[in-house]
Amino acid sequence: MGNFVKFVSILLVSLLGAGIILFMRTGLHKQLHMFSPPNMDVERPILGDEITLPAVLVFSKTSGWRHHEAITAAADVFRTAANKNEWAIYITENGAIFNEEDLERFSVVVWNNATGQVLTQLQKDALRAYIEEGGGFMALHAAGDGSHDDWPWFVENVIRADYLGAPQEQQVQSAKVIVTNRLHPITNHLPKRWPRKDEWFGFSTNPRGKGVTILARLNEMSYNPEESAMGKDHPIMWVHQVGEGRVFYSAMGHTATAYQDPDYAAVMEKAMLWTKRTTWPPVELEEDINDINGHAD
Is pLDDT above 60 for 5?
Answer: no
Measured CA to CA, the distance from residue 291 to residue 179 in angstroms comes to: 10
Measured CA to CA, the distance from residue 261 to residue 287 in angstroms comes to: 25
pLDDT band of 203, cuts 50, 70, 90: very high
Choose among 95, 80, 146: nearest CA to 125. 95
pTM (two decimals): 0.85
In sequence order, which residues have a C-beta less than 8 Å from that of residue 128 and are 6 or more positions away?
A: 153
Give 17 or 132, the one with higher predicted confidence: 132
pLDDT of residue 68: 82
pLDDT of residue 63: 79
Which numeric CATH code is attached to 33-275? 3.40.50.880
Average pLDDT of the residues in 191-213: 95
CA angle 36, 37, 40 (to 5 degrees): 125
Whether 244 contacts 134, CB under 8 Å:
yes
Q: Which of 62-76, 97-111, 212-226, 241-255 has the lowest mean pLDDT?
A: 62-76
Cis-peptide, bond into residue 45, ω within 30° of zero: no
3-class state of residue 34 by DSSP: helix
Q: How many CA atoms lie within 13 A of 171 on its CB side?
A: 5
pLDDT of residue 12: 54
